[in-house]
Amino acid sequence: MPSSPSRRSPSLRSRLRGGKPRSSRWAGAGTPVRAARAACMSRRRECAVRPGSGWVPLRALQRSRNILRAAGAAAPLFLLLLLPRPARPRPLPPRPSARWFSREHFWRCLIGRWAVANSGVARAGGARRGRCRSYLHAGRAWGCGVAPFSRPLAGARFTSHLHAARRRGAMAAAYRHGGSAPRGRAGAQRGGEKKCSWASYMTNSPTLIVMIGLPARGKTYVSKKLTRYLNWIGVPTRVFNLGVYRREAVKSYKSYDFFRHDNKEAMEIRKRCALVALQDVKAYLLEECGQIAVFDATNTTRERRDLILNFAKENAFKVFFVESVCDDPEVIAANILEVKVSSPDYPERNRENVMDDFLKRIECYKVTYQPLDPDEYDKDLSFIKVINVGQRFLVNRVQDYIQSKIVYYLMNIHVQPRTIYLCRHGESEYNLLGKIGGDSGLSPRGKQFAQALKKFIEEQEIVELKVWTSQLKRTIQTAESLGVTYEQWKILNEIDAGVCEEMTYAEIEAKYPDEFALRDQEKYLYRYPGGESYQDLVQRLEPVIMELERQGNVLVISHQAVMRCLLAYFLDKSADELPYLRCPLHAILKLTPVAYGCKVETITLNVEAVNTHRDKPSLNSPQVGNACLGWLA
């Protein structure tokens, strides 16, 4: 006798595709969520489904694991299609029970379980996998680790979704309870977590950059500059300077005798400092979401480099060496006078004594210096040799994409004195109306600024000045008043506002209230519908940074968002600070690169203009809170 229809369960295919089941008892269970509800009810659980509330019981979530295990790799394709995305936010229940999940949380948990079940990345020293914790409706952070998945589908498609789910739940919980966003160990700062969510596209494993070279060869200059660039493009990077560890271990420096190779006690101290620094490197790369660590030290002996290689092998780090070689006495002397005289090693000493002691220190290192040998001993290593501050380069065995970017960047920088001028176009007609984007011309005050800019440039008497503009009308009109040759760059155009082009902020808030609130909540990552985000703009401006590093004196006439991105690179600003840097109209920023940074001078030309700057909104702003709740609706 055939089984009763009331006892027949829907097939797996029917559950996943949302088709109508054969059984009358299962009629209306057109989605896996309803199927899970019906399964729970048929088992006579002590909970009742709330009709129309959008909530499913915890037992349904636990039972649905069997569906995913049977579905295998095809499950996430159906799950993504079933993720609801309502246009407007709706309020959450005031006090939901821990036994109930919102429908969106239900599907995110299922996707997370599938991703964890299909992932497995093991490293030397311990496995590193995505971890799934209970995701309570209270919004506490549930998610997975940031380690890449073994399958391309899981790694490429689900990592960003899971990070977004965790961030949304955490932010919603914070605003509901009146606190700030929770910060886990993997992201001590919101900016760090923000970068970690997409920096893994550039690196598939942590990389250790090891500097090599005698003192006063520009190693610290290169390491700081390289770190600034990598952080700007979104790769979390940190410098570990061994001199800082040495000064902590030895409070008072007396003379160059500390660096003699026959000083056994000092050699032991220096080795211990190196081991402590390497342990900090390990903690940063494995526990603090770092992607690249720069080990800034002389590392002149093969014994020390072998120690570093063994350390990297134990922790599954890639190693890339950067050796700075310089035999130009003028460059060495200039470096000593500019940097080493003000070093903490030489407090209250005159220049003659500092120069004499430091030259003797260099001689101590020369006794044991073993350069990289590309022909025999070091032929299998990945490295670049920078000879005489960029006159020549020797590149050997580049392993991956990020190493190729490092090589390309190092081949573009130079140490020649120069000045970079950044300014916005003159005030435009759309600036007067409060509109963003567009391609309007200059206002009368904007034309007045263009004439004042011409007078300023003539007074500076800048040698071989190059002028760059965007391809928009307002920057071209500003440059034409200078009476000099200028170059137009399309990538210098203002950030694309998409559907919000040529609208005022009041119009955007009225027409797109959710988008307006979301942009205030995450301005760096927010992308206009059909437009760009600041993160997209940074990637677009990378060729401009490369050309600026190659050039001498340059005047860049651009736009507010573009100028913020360029300024953030030179001033080493984080992703959270970048969208709120002040770049007013009718002002010039004079940037002068110095030893370990950039000197900034603001010059105002006394031509009035409207204020286009918007301050960072408060976290307690109702628009921000509603945006976070809308993400979960």
Structural element, H or E, at residue 279: helix 264-287
Q: Is 57 helix (H, G, I), strand (E, B) or coil?
A: strand
Angle at 524 between CA 529 and CA 188, to 5 degrees: 135
Ligand-binding annotation for 19, yes or no, is no
Backbone angles phi, psi at 64, to 5 degrees: -75, -10
* CA–CA gap between residue 133 and residue 141 (Å, rounded): 8
Side-chain half-sphere CA neighbours of 464 within 13 A: 5
Q: CB within 8 A of 164, min separation 6: which ones?
A: none
Ligand-binding annotation for 44, yes or no, is no
Contact criterion met (CB below 8 Å) for 315 and 122: no
Helix axis angle for 401-410 and 219-232, nearest 10°, is 130
Nearest alpha carbon to residue 496 among 539, 537, 536, 532:
532
| 501 flagged as catalytic | no
> Residue length, the chain?
633
Contact criterion met (CB below 8 Å) for 384 and 396: yes
Ligand-binding annotation for 429, yes or no, is yes
Ligand-binding annotation for 547, yes or no, is no
Q: Which of the residues 193, 323, 494, 532 is marked catalytic?
A: 494
CA dihedral 295, 296, 299, 300 (to 10 degrees): 150
Ligand-binding annotation for 14, yes or no, is no
For residue 349, what are its two tokens? Answer: 């000493």
Ligand-binding annotation for 37, yes or no, is no
Q: Which of the residues 163, 425, 559, 586 is marked catalytic?
A: 425
* CA–CA gap between residue 256 and residue 355 (Å, rounded): 11
Ligand-binding annotation for 431, yes or no, is yes
| 425 flagged as catalytic | yes
107, with CB counted inside 10 A (0-12, 13-18, 19+), is buried
Instruction: List residues forming the annotated binding site.
Output: 424-431, 474
Instruction: List residues forming the annotated binding site for substrate.
Output: 424-431, 474
Q: Which residues are catalytically annotated? A: 425, 494
